[in-house]
Chains A and B, each alone.
Chain A
Amino acid sequence: MRFLARRLGFYLLTAWAAVTLNFLIPRLMPGDPVELLVARMKDNVDPAAIEAMRRAFGLSDAGLWQQYLDYLGNLAHGELGRSITFFPTEVSSVIAGSLPWTVGLVGVATVISYLIGTSLGVLMAWKRGTWLDGVLPAATFMHAVPYFWVALALVFVFGVTLQWFPVSRAYGLDVTAGLTGEFAGSVLYHAVLPGVTIVVASMADRILGMRNVMVTTLGEDYVVMAEAKGLTSRRVMWAYAARNAILPNITSFALSLGFVVGGSVLTEIVFSYPGIGSMLLKGVENEDFPLMQGIFLVISLAVLVANFLADLAYLILDPRTKQ
């Protein structure tokens, strides 16, 4: 329990640091969102309107300390300011609108990729020296290939040439969003290609990572002893070898879960998927600092939460961490 409390304290401190940096960085940069908006409108703006916008964006000439307190207060209410790209929509509602798509697509794909990749890695280590070793070069190749290349290849083959799957958007234009079977089917149908892209492109890492640790673990005395005990191969493989080999892989899995929230930017762009990644791209294109800031904040908090979950998982899976 002390371990958990210590970790929790560490994460709270890190979260505070992230929030504070998020406050400081834009204020250390020259210019502000209103100047950007005004520049966009080619300076044809009424001074009164400028003043109104400054208030809308929460800009003030108050001291830095006062601004910081206001910022923290707003944050506590979930207010992240207004987006420039989607003015006057609030950043929080832009994120709320795109986050579910990303978490649904990238999150589920990441979990699937982890499950398949880890199982394959275990199996390949167990059956090393057989035909399964042939998967290794393929995995190494996939490991080296970038995401967007896989995405483009899949789009070309299954989207354009064979026309089996749609190549863009999250659901068809002919269905209305709602809790209907038709809508869900359309969403799933549209998620196949981007989902497969993420699974294929990230699975190689899992296979190689798990296989390497597993091969080392198989040489441990407790695995030999499990075999000497006359246990079934399945039990030796999973309960003794894989159960121990998975521990070092938890951290990397947690990290990738944290980055799920950041979206798989390139995949989302290739498939015009309305997730956080696409929003981030739009924010960058339009110098939409409030939006970028909001997204970065959400990403950093998600990474922290994922790490905390990894610590929790460790605590449950490895009795040696309980001191």
Chain B
Amino acid sequence: MNVLEIRDLSVDYLSGSGAVHAVADVSLDLRRGEILGLAGESGSGKSTLANAVARLLRPPAAITGGSVVHHRRDGGPVDVLKLGRKELRAFRWKELAVVFQSAMNALNPVSTVGAQIDDVLRVHAPDMPRKERTERTVELLQRVGISADRRRGYPHELSGGMRQRAAIAIALALNPEIIIMDEPTTALDVVVQREILHEIKALRQEYGFAVVFITHDLSLLMEISDRIAIMYAGRVVETGSAKALHRSPSHPYTLGLLRSFPRLHGPREELLGIPGTPPDLRSLPSGCAFHPRCRFAVEECSARRPALLPGVEGQVACLLNDDKGVLR
């Protein structure tokens, strides 16, 4: 059962020298209660995709096509991109919440942590009495491991990890069905990172929300996600369960990402990495955008762009995989 269906979504950055296709024809499903990992290098369009789904894009970015259908728990499907102003305000946070990249900047520095949970409740549940709102705030903070008296504290009085926890508590305020987490642990040290990941997993168990987890750290995704989608130059190039991707990546790019960090367990492998740099979105290579960096590229790769087709497991967009998994 999908809670969010993204179909052929395209986002352009309009600039003087023409449009830059940051996200091109992306189709992606988010199942109810799953953690979907979204990985890719910087500039691959993963954050833009997330912002488009949350309708948070600002000029010069603009959605040029596609649909984002949200299936509500009780009620029919709605296209998020077609919501009016009022409906959008109601949709936001109640159905879809966002945890931003660095909680350092995502919390209002002049407002207490408690007040930042409270104003969500006040807007979306105007009938809730003050006492209940305070109780809910305390409950949320305690749930993510912040003591109740901290609600009167300001963001600068909290450590980095605490701030990220506070941001998660704010996201949970209305019990949303979808939470987009845009690199929620990137600014944290590994130990805190681990704690936060465990926390997210535990909260997911408890509340049953679905997560879109964005990061460039594939090894981290392998651990936390149910399914993973790999993006390259604005397109999804491979999707599949975390296990399948880990065991047998079908796209050369996924293989490159997996082999760019050493494994601690298992047999020794050569560190491959990915040669070259991410492409310039203003002038993408012809055919498959990855072909100049691909070690398996054949002549046809520069001529024809592969479509995202069902592969052995999940989907893959690679000519070499059109009939069979070529990498193994």
Complex CA distance for A11 and B288, rounded to whole angstroms? 68
Residue on B nearest A222 in the bound complex, by CB = B108
Asked whether B110 lies within 8 Å of A317 as measured between CB atoms, the reply is yes
Give min CB distance, A252 to chain B, whole Å: 19
Asked whether B98 lies within 8 Å of A228 as measured between CB atoms, the reply is yes
Asked whether B92 lies within 8 Å of A230 as measured between CB atoms, the reply is yes
Using Cβ atoms and an 8 Å threshold, which residues of chain B touch A229?
A: 92-93, 97, 119-120, 123, 170
Mark each residue of chain B from 78 to 118: 1 if its CB lies under 8 Å from any CB of chain A, else 0. 00000000001111111001101110011111111000000
Using Cβ atoms and an 8 Å threshold, which residues of chain A touch B92?
A: 227-230
Asked whether A230 lies within 8 Å of B154 as measured between CB atoms, the reply is no
Mark each residue of chain A from 104 to 138: 1 if its CB lies under 8 Å from any CB of chain B, else 0. 00000000000000000000000001000000000
Using Cβ atoms and an 8 Å threshold, which residues of chain B touch A231?
A: 89, 119-120, 123
| Interface residue stretch chosen among A80-88, A179-187, A238-246, A254-262 | A238-246
Residue on B nearest A129 in the bound complex, by CB = B59
Indicate whether A224 sits within 8 Å of B100 (C-beta atoms), given known contacts A229-B123, A320-B154.
Answer: yes
Using Cβ atoms and an 8 Å threshold, which residues of chain A touch B106?
A: 221-222, 224-225
Give min CB distance, A248 to chain B, whole Å: 13
Residue on B nearest A243 in the bound complex, by CB = B110
In the complex, which of the residues A129, A228, A235 contacts B54, with contact meaning CB atoms closer than 8 Å? A228
Asked whether B110 lies within 8 Å of A228 as measured between CB atoms, the reply is no
Using Cβ atoms and an 8 Å threshold, which residues of chain B touch A317?
A: 110
A-B CB pair tally, cutoff 8 Å: 76
Using Cβ atoms and an 8 Å threshold, which residues of chain A touch B191?
A: none
Complex CA distance for A179 and B112, rounded to whole angstroms? 47
In the complex, which of the residues B59, B88, B101, B108 contacts A226, with contact meaning CB atoms closer than 8 Å? B108
Chain A residues with a Cβ closer than 8 Å to the other chain, count: 23
Most buried by B among A221, A229, A320: A229
Using Cβ atoms and an 8 Å threshold, which residues of chain B touch A227?
A: 56, 92
Complex CA distance for A220 and B109, rounded to whole angstroms? 11
19 new A-B contacts at CB < 8 Å, known A221-B106, A227-B56: A221-B101, A221-B102, A222-B106, A222-B108, A222-B109, A227-B92, A228-B56, A228-B92, A228-B98, A229-B120, A229-B170, A230-B91, A230-B92, A235-B119, A235-B123, A239-B111, A243-B108, A319-B156, A320-B154
Pick the 5 closest A-B CB pairs, nearest first.
A230-B92, A221-B105, A221-B106, A319-B154, A230-B89
Chain B residues within 8 Å of A, Cβ to Cβ: 54, 56, 59, 88-94, 97-98, 100-102, 105-112, 119-120, 123-124, 154, 156, 170
A-B contact pairs, 15 of them (CB 8 A): A221-B102, A222-B105, A222-B106, A224-B100, A224-B106, A228-B92, A229-B119, A229-B170, A230-B91, A230-B124, A231-B89, A235-B119, A243-B108, A319-B156, A320-B109
